Amino acid sequence: MNFLSHYYFDKNESDSYKVLGAVLPDLLKNANKNWKLFPEKTSEKLYHNSELKALITGWKKHLAVDKIFHNTSSFFYHQHELKNHFTTILAGTPIKPFFVGHVGYELCLDHLLLKYKTIDINRFYKHLKSIDYKAIEEFLRINDIVETDIFLKYYSSFVKEAYLGTYIKPESISYALKRICMRVWATPLSDYKKEEMTKVISSYISLLDENFMFIFDEIEALLINE
C-alpha cells in the first residue's frame, strides 16, 4: 500500500512516531533504493526509548498491513485488471505492466481516501512535522545506515512539498507513476502515454469508487488477529 493507505490504519493514532514508523519503509526506499533494512530482526533492546519503540512498532505494522494486502483477492484482481489496461499503452517500452498495475491500484486507493475525506491529510503531515530528527538518526544508525543526512534531506523535502495531496487529481497519479517508473527504467514515458494512462486511471477510479472501502475493512479485521 502507499503512504495514505498505510496512514488510514493510524488515522486515530496520537503517537507521531508510530505514524512515521508505519510509512518509514517506503520513505527509506524512495530516499535510496539500495538501502536494505530489517529493523524487525534487530534486538528490541536497542530500541531503548519511547520514540524508538514507537518507530519499530509502526514499522512492524507496515509489514503486517502489506503482507495482508498483497495476499487479498482484491489486490490480485485489481492489479491484474490494471495491468491488462496498461499493456497496450506501455508497448514498446521496457516498463512492466504488472509493476504499473500494482502501484497504480495503490495510488487509486490513496486518491479515493482523499476524495471521500476518509483521512485527514493535514493531520498526517502534522505528525511528520513534529518528529525529532535525532530519533530518526538513531533509528537509522541502529540499523547500519550511516548516511543519515541523505535521508533527512529527503524527509525534509517530502514533508515540505506535501505532494500526496495532489493525488486528488487523476493526472497527478499518472505523473507519479511516470516518476516511479523512472527510478527503475531510464526511458521516460512520453506525454501521450502519460495522458493515456490518466484516462485509464480516471476510468478505473470510477469502477473502484463504490466499494473501495472493502479492502480497508478486510485488512483492519485481519490486523486484529496479527
The confidence score (pLDDT) of residue 187 equals 78
Cell of 186: 531510464
Per-residue pLDDT band for 189 (boundaries 50, 70, 90) equals: confident
Mean pLDDT of 192-215: 95
For the chain, what is the mean pLDDT? 95
The confidence score (pLDDT) of residue 226 equals 65
pLDDT tens-digit map of 70-96:
999 999 999 999 999 999 999 999 999
The confidence score (pLDDT) of residue 43 equals 81
Mean pLDDT of 108-127: 98
The confidence score (pLDDT) of residue 225 equals 74
For 125, the domain range is 3-223
Q: Is 148 exposed, middle or buried (0-12, 13-18, 19+ CB in 10 A)?
A: middle
Per-residue pLDDT band for 184 (boundaries 50, 70, 90) equals: confident
Q: Is 108 exposed, middle or buried (0-12, 13-18, 19+ CB in 10 A)?
A: buried
Please provide the distance, in angstroms rounded to a whole number, between the alpha carbons at the two ends of the chain: 17
Please give the angle made by the CA atoms of 163, 68 and 178, to the nearest 5 degrees. 30
Cell of 82: 490494471
The confidence score (pLDDT) of residue 44 equals 83
Single pTM value for the model: 0.95
**What span, in angstroms and rounded, lies between the C-alpha atoms of 5 and 2?**
5
**Cα separations in angstroms, 189 against 72, 73, 182:** 30, 30, 8
**What span, in angstroms and rounded, lies between the C-alpha atoms of 16 and 27?**
15
Find out whether 135 and 124 touch, Cβ atoms under 8 Å.
Answer: no
**What span, in angstroms and rounded, lies between the C-alpha atoms of 145 and 205?**
38
Q: Is 219 exposed, middle or buried (0-12, 13-18, 19+ CB in 10 A)?
A: buried
The confidence score (pLDDT) of residue 3 equals 98
Checking if the pLDDT of 120 tops 90, the result is: yes
Residues of the chain above pLDDT 90, percent: 88
Q: Count of domains in the chain? A: 1
